[in-house]
Structure 1
Amino acid sequence: MKISARNQLKGTVKEVKLGAIMAEILVELATGEELVSVITRNSAVSLDLKVGDTVAAVIKSTEVMIGKE
């Protein structure tokens, strides 16, 4: 898969929660950190996402916030 977005994090699907309209996908990165993506249920079904699948989380954003305490 070739795409223009450079911010890609490869990981493994750890959990798939299908809702009526949306799906929550938990991805574990190689570092052990986790991230959650909320996508449409149709997209999750179309991609046939399952626990154990290797995926790329693609981050395309015009705004990234950073906080510090």
Structure 2
Amino acid sequence: MTIQSINVRNQFRGTIKEIIEGPVLSEVDVTTPSGIVTSVITTRSVRELDLKPGREVIAFVKSTEVSIATL
């Protein structure tokens, strides 16, 4: 599968800042020009994708609901 074939409109290019690995799930913090995006993915995926701090990645965000609050 190529990146062009993924149907996700919200894409954030960034660099992995930190990975907090757990036995099953891991948190991956990605620094983007708009701020930090955090993803919770399987630890197996972290290893298979060879994710490490400093690596450039694209965070794809797909949601069925987006909430907005006033400031």
TM-score by length of 1: 0.89
Question: 1:18: how far off?
Answer: 0.7
Question: 1:38: how far off?
Answer: 0.6
Structure 1 residue ranges without an equivalent (≥5): none
Determine helix, strand or coil for the equivalent of 2:45: helix
* Per-residue Cα deviation, 1:28-47 (whole angstroms, up to 9, x for no partner): 0024x111111111111111
Runs of 4+ aligned residues of structure 1 deviating over 4 Å after TM superposition are none
Question: 1:52: how far off?
Answer: 0.7
Partner of 2:33: 30
Question: 1:55: how far off?
Answer: 0.7
Question: 1:4: how far off?
Answer: 1.4
* Count of residues in correspondence between the two structures: 68
